[in-house]
Amino acid sequence: MLHDKRMNMTMEVLFRQYPYAEDFFANFSLQPDLKSTVGLFFTSLPEEVCEDLGMSHLQLGEQFLSYLDHMQRLRNQREEIHSITILGGYNKDGAPEESCLTIHAGEIVSIVGATGSGKSRLLADIEWLAQRDTPTKRAILLNGQPPEAARRFSVENKLVAQLSQNMNFIMDLTVAEFINMHAESRMVEQVDKVTSHIIAKANELTGEKFLPATPVTALSGGQSRALMIADAAFLSTCPIVLIDELENAGIDRRQALRLLVDRQKIVLMATHDPILALMGERRIVIKNGAIDRIIETSRQERQHLLVLEKMDQQMTAVREALRKGEQLAGTFSTMAEQNTE
C-alpha cells in the first residue's frame, strides 16, 4: 500500500485531525471502522466494492491522499492582499483616463457619478482584475503587482465579493442551512457557532429580525443584504468587497461598513447617497466612463456628515412611526424640538 504516515492513523484520529476526510468516504458510501487504520481499511475492501467504484485498492488510496492534500491546500490558503491599485484606461470617447489610485486594506472608498456614467463598470473591472482586456482598458494591481493568471481566474478562491442591488435567493434552504453550507465549504471549525454569530450580526443590521429557521427565499431585500454583508465580513475569504447602492438595502449603513472595515476588507461602494459618499476616506468621481477626480473627504465635509446623519435618523424615526401605525404629530414635534436645540 502507499507509504504515507496518514495511512498508519486510525480512522478516529484521522477524522479528528482532518474533519473533511469524512466527506470522502460518505461520497463513496463507505463506512470505515473508527478503530481500523486507514491503510488497513483500503487494503481490506472487498473486490466487488472496488469494482463498483471502478478503482483498485491502490487507486482508491491514491485518490484519498490526493483529496486530503487538495483540501489542506484550500484550508491553508490565505489571500494576503494589502492594497489594490487602479491604473487608468480610457473614457467613452477614447481619451486617456489620467488616474492612478491605490486603496489599502481597511479603507472605504465611495464611487459617485450620474446614472450611466460608468460606476458599475469600474466595479466590474475590479471584480475581474482587469488587465487592459476590458472595454475601459484599465489594469488592476494587487499589492502593486499584476495578479497571476491562476489567481485571477480561480473559481475556488475568488478575491472579490460583490454585493449587488438585487440579492435574490432561489435555494430551498433555511438561513442556518445556507450559512452552515458556506462554513463547511470553508472548512471552518465550530460551524454552528460561526453560523449563529453571522446570523446575530446580520440581525444587528436590519430592522426586522429573522430566525435561523427562516427560509432564505422568505428574506426581504434588506435582510438578504444584511445576511450577505455579515457573511462577507466573517466567513468569506475575499479581501475586496464591492457594494452597489447600499442605500437601497434598508439596513444600518454605518454599522455595515464598520463590520467590513474592522475585518480589514478593502471596501468600494457605488452610491448616490450623500451620507455614504462622505463616509469614505476618499470618493471617486466618474464622468463619461472614466475617473474624473479623486477627492479626499475634508474635515468640513465630516462636519456636514454629522448633520446629514442627524437628519437621516429623523427620517428613519418617521418611517418607523408610519410602519407601526402611529400618528406623525408627536414625531414631528419631537423633530422640531431637536432641530431648535
Q: Could you tell me if 175 and 217 are in contact, meaning their C-beta atoms sit under 8 angstroms apart?
A: no
Q: Could you tell me if 100 and 87 are in contact, meaning their C-beta atoms sit under 8 angstroms apart?
A: yes
pLDDT in tens, 265-314: 999 988 888 988 998 899 999 999 999 999 999 999 999 999 998 888 88
C-alpha dihedral sign at 129, 135, 138, 139: positive
Burial call 84-93: b when 16+ CB within 10 Å, e when fewer: bbbbbbebee
pLDDT in tens, 90-129: 999 999 998 899 999 999 999 999 999 999 899 899 988 9
Q: Which residues are CB-contacts of 257 (< 8 A; sequence separation ≥ 6)?
A: 108, 246, 267, 269, 279
**Side-chain-side CA neighbours of residue 235 (13 Å):** 29
Q: Could you tell me if 79 and 237 are in contact, meaning their C-beta atoms sit under 8 angstroms apart?
A: yes
Q: What is the pLDDT of residue 22?
A: 86
Determine whether 158 is exposed, middle or buried from the number of CB atoms within 10 Å of its CB (0-12, 13-18, 19+).
middle
Cα–Cα separations (whole angstroms), residue 194 to 107, 132, 191: 25, 39, 5
Rounded Cα–Cα distance for residues 141 and 86 (Å): 7
The beta strand positions in 74-197, using DSSP E, are 83-87, 100-104, 108-112, 139-142, 160-163
Cell matching residue 255: 454599522
* Residue tagged 442627524 (cell numbers): 310
* Residue tagged 488616474 (cell numbers): 99
pLDDT in tens, 206-244: 878 999 999 988 888 888 888 999 999 998 888 889 888
Q: What is the pLDDT of residue 250?
A: 67
Answering whether pTM is above 0.85, one says no
N-to-C CA span, the chain = 82
pLDDT in tens, 69-98: 877 766 555 557 889 999 999 999 999 998
Cell matching residue 15: 477524522
Domains of the chain in start order, with CATH, are: 5-76 (no CATH), 83-297 (3.40.50.300), 304-340 (no CATH)
Residue 168: pLDDT band (50, 70, 90) is low
Residue type, 157: N
